[in-house]
Structure 1
Amino acid sequence: MTTLEAELTVLAALTGLIVGSFVNLVATRLPKGESIAWDRSRADCCGTVLSARELVPVFSWLVQRGRCVHCGAKVTARHPIIELAGAGIGVWAALASPTLTAAILTALLGWQLLLIALVDADELWLPDRLTLPLLVSGLIAATALPDTTLVDALLGTVFGFASLWLVARTYRQLRAREGLGGGDPILFGAVGAWVGWIGLPSVLLWACAAGLSWVAARALARRPLARDEPLPFGPFIVIGGWLTWLYGPIGIG
């Protein structure tokens, strides 16, 4: 690794920490209908407005020993974990990408997917405000990178949406209840804009493998998934989309 590459990797990590903090903010406020851009950051426990030194990603949580300096309440480790996840995505993108443009777009994809996965995991909700920008950025990436085409991205969008929409509709007609959320086909179509139509089967394979692994882990931990317990599929599509984007469709060199 050259000095320039090392510096860019460090920059990607620092940027990822900041983005991760913002992702956590959006994931918390968006489901509540709260303002994202204008309201000052406040402590979840007591509502006190936080100062700049209390908002330094990861560092502030460590210095405060995981507690609010105003009321002493415990602050969940979710905050530094998401911030570190943002940093990890930035570093991963920097190391896995052949060009600066590819690294920026890959990091953008990863941060969007992180936010979408968090919201769906927390709220069983895939809002258009998150999935449609993912689609648009995928189309932009298709025009900006040499190994992708806009036609493939558009076909990926159409086939991705149509395939899961048909699955959801068929399930509803056969079982008289919902099997997939309305946002899942849109998310799959948006991921298709990034990976193209040829990457869609790989996304599903990764997603199913991740979902089955999660169910198995729950069972091993003696917390088996109840028969009527909803399972958000969005986070698993996110995993499939990320891995397919980075490493290509399964079985294709």
Structure 2
Amino acid sequence: MPLLDALPFGAGVALAALIGLILGSFIATLVLRWPAGRALGGRSRCDGCGRALGVRDLVPLVSAFVSRGRCRTCGARIDPFHGRVELVSGLIGVLALAWAPGTTGWLWALFGWLLLPLGLLDARHMWLPDRLNAVLAISGLFLAGPMLEMSLLDRWIGALAAGSLLALVAWTYRRVRGGEGMGGGDPKLVAAIGCWLGWQPLPLVLLLASLGGIGWAVVAQRKGDRPLALRPVPFGVFACTAAFAAVPLWPLISAR
């Protein structure tokens, strides 16, 4: 990416933030509409009065701030989920380009932007769509080599090893416990993550994801009344978070 590599540090961070905010608006719409069976295309409309939203209503973060979080026509409250996702997506771009200006940073940002809708859909609906997993996997095989300097072979091995390991865990749980212990999308997600990271960082990813899942389950158990064994854990949320964190952590751990 010669053109992006040539950007000054501040310009790169600002551009990544802007791209993140714009993508965050689309990601929020996708997460809200897709599970409800609503079309992803077409004009955005107010959920209260159905008015088609114009450009001044769709500026990430700014429009909601100016309108105080309400529709200018009917006064209906705008779901704050939009602004939160836009902010997180923008921060992904800022963090990535501040940490690694140039190709590595842009690839890390792209990785984060692809992981974000998967993590949100799993958190809200316990759903990891095959199509999003496929986009993550294919983009990783084609683009991710320079991010951690992993060869295509390493990334193929990572995909096959990670997917097979989690599929085996899910199969073993069904055989031993007689029920589903892991959703079908989790092995596919971790396989797609392997397409980006290669096989070497995957133990770190699985360790961080498992610790995050265990911590979440323990906290949720203290706040609720369902037994821990019966409480579903959105493992995809923790796998996405761990995969994103592994990009800067792995070079530090593996440095000699």
With the length of structure 1 as denominator, give the TM-score of the two structures: 0.91
How far did 1:128 drift?
Answer: 0.9
Of 53, 59, 63, which aligns to 2:62? 59
Partner of 1:202: 204
Partner of 1:23: 27
Over aligned residues, Cα RMSD in angstroms?
Answer: 2.1
Q: Does 1:82 align with 2:85?
A: yes
Asked if the contact 2:29–2:82 (Cα under 8 Å) also holds between the matched residues in 1, the reply is no
Partner of 1:11: 15
* Counterpart Cα distance in 1 of 2:148 and 2:169: 33
How far did 1:176 drift?
Answer: 0.9
Give the alignment of 1:180-191 within 5 angstroms. Answer: 180-191=182-193
Of 31, 39, 43, which aligns to 2:42? 39
Asked if the contact 2:148–2:197 (Cα under 8 Å) also holds between the matched residues in 1, the reply is no
Q: Between the two proteins, what is the percent identity of the paired residues?
A: 41
Asked if the contact 1:161–1:188 (Cα under 8 Å) also holds between the matched residues in 2, the reply is yes
With the length of structure 2 as denominator, give the TM-score of the two structures: 0.90
Asked if the contact 1:142–1:149 (Cα under 8 Å) also holds between the matched residues in 2, the reply is no
* Counterpart Cα distance in 2 of 1:146 and 1:92: 16
* Counterpart Cα distance in 1 of 2:112 and 2:209: 16
Of 88, 101, 105, which aligns to 2:103? 101
* Counterpart Cα distance in 1 of 2:133 and 2:148: 24
Distance 1:251 1:163, change over 3 A: same
* Counterpart Cα distance in 1 of 2:147 and 2:217: 37
Partner of 1:152: 154
Name structure 2 gaps, 5 residues minimum.
1-6
Name structure 1 gaps, 5 residues minimum.
none
How far did 1:157 drift?
Answer: 0.2
* Counterpart Cα distance in 1 of 2:190 and 2:58: 34
How far did 1:27 drift?
Answer: 1.1
Distance 1:71 1:135, change over 3 A: same
Aligned length: 249
How far did 1:103 drift?
Answer: 2.0
Asked if the contact 2:217–2:233 (Cα under 8 Å) also holds between the matched residues in 1, the reply is no
Tell me the secondary structure at the aligned position of residue 197 of structure 1: coil
